[in-house]
Structure 1
Amino acid sequence: MRKHIRSIVLAAAAVAAFAVPALAESTLCTITAPEMRLRKSPSKKAKVVAILKKDTKVTAAQCSGGWVKVSSEDGKLNGYVGGWALASAPTQVAEAPATQVSDAAPSTVAQKEVPSNEKLAMQITELRLNVLGIERDMQQMHKEIRKIKSTLRRRK
């Protein structure tokens, strides 16, 4: 019996030793979407606790994935957001020293900037929001056209 209890205690201690530091680490993340709903639980049906605006800083265990549990910088708001709308908060990085280019062969190929995943996700989100807005406008116009047609039929 004592061996069994000892093995359970040792297993629990091992789990605690590895899990607690991983859970304690938090990362500063930034909201990249124009607006993001902070929900009480990880579900679209969950109650909305707050609406977070773009560039709002939050802390989380990670800045990507499905539903991510976050809290505001002041700790007053806690909830879940979609990980697709989070990016690691920018940090100050020292500039790399400029490399010397010889005058003999100037480079004629211009370097194009490759957008980061965060920029691409933000562009996709903005395009989706634009499409949703256009779809809503189109639905409203179709409803109004149906009303006009029905009133014209009644007059005849």
Structure 2
Amino acid sequence: MNQTTRTLILAAAVTAIAAPVFADTICTVNALELRLRKTPSMKARVVAVLKKDQQVTTAGDCAGGWVKVSSTDGSLTGYVGGWALTSNAPKASAEATPAPSAQPEAAKPEAVIPVTAPPKEVPSNEKLAMQITELRLNVLGIERDMDKMNQEIQKIKTSIGKKKGHKKQAKK
């Protein structure tokens, strides 16, 4: 085999192995609205607003922090929060595809279909506002309790200081 043939075979092998790694993943938006931003920052300019069930492509995984996505037609590119995306790739499972066996066709067990968890419910603005208000009230309660404790500590310190003053006068 000459050098050119070896190079072509090696290039074909590398391409066959690496192609699935670099393949685009199709993800679906599972939030009611999702802001597509120019850079991975909450302060970044909003390029577009994606709607629920809209599909986008990404070079990597759909989940995680900031995910770089592009529209399926390639006209828009930007970053979104991975929490609001769901992968459209089928879940691989050892149970889903049973290993071939020597059993006759009639005796083979049926393949188990994996059950995937439903996407997390995105809370409404009203629920979020209620949670924020509850947390603020908790913080205010803690601050009030801390103020009371500090006042009690000051009383104890002053009473200890007065007792020390009496002891010094008694020694003289």
TM-score by length of 2: 0.46
Matches within 5 A, 1:68-87: 68-87=67-86
Runs of 4+ aligned residues of structure 1 deviating over 2 Å after TM superposition are: 20-24, 129-135
Q: Residues 116, 52 of structure 1: CA spacing in aligned structure 2 closer, same or farther, 3 A cutoff?
A: same
Deviations 1:1-25 (A, max 9, x none): xxxxxxxxxxxxxxx98xx757622
Identity in percent? 50
Deviations 1:53-74 (A, max 9, x none): 0000000121100000000000
Q: How many residues align?
A: 96
Q: Residues 42, 54 of structure 1: CA spacing in aligned structure 2 closer, same or farther, 3 A cutoff?
A: same
Query: Partners of 2:44 and 2:54 in 1: how far apart?
Result: 21
Instruction: Answer 1 or 2: higher relative contact order, Cα 8 Å, separation at least 6.
Output: 1
Structure 1 residue 41 displacement after superposition? 0.4
> What secondary structure does 1:126 align onto?
coil
Query: Partners of 1:59 and 1:27 in 2: how far apart?
Result: 5
TM-score by length of 1: 0.51
Query: Partners of 1:133 and 1:34 in 2: how far apart?
Result: 17
Q: Residues 90, 131 of structure 1: CA spacing in aligned structure 2 closer, same or farther, 3 A cutoff?
A: same
Q: Which is greater in Rg?
A: 2
Matches within 5 A, 1:1-156: 21=19, 24-60=22-58, 61-89=60-88, 116=117, 118=119, 120=120, 123=121, 125-127=122-124, 129-132=125-128
Q: Which runs of 5+ in 2 are unaligned?
A: 1-13, 91-95, 97-114, 132-172
> What secondary structure does 1:29 align onto?
strand
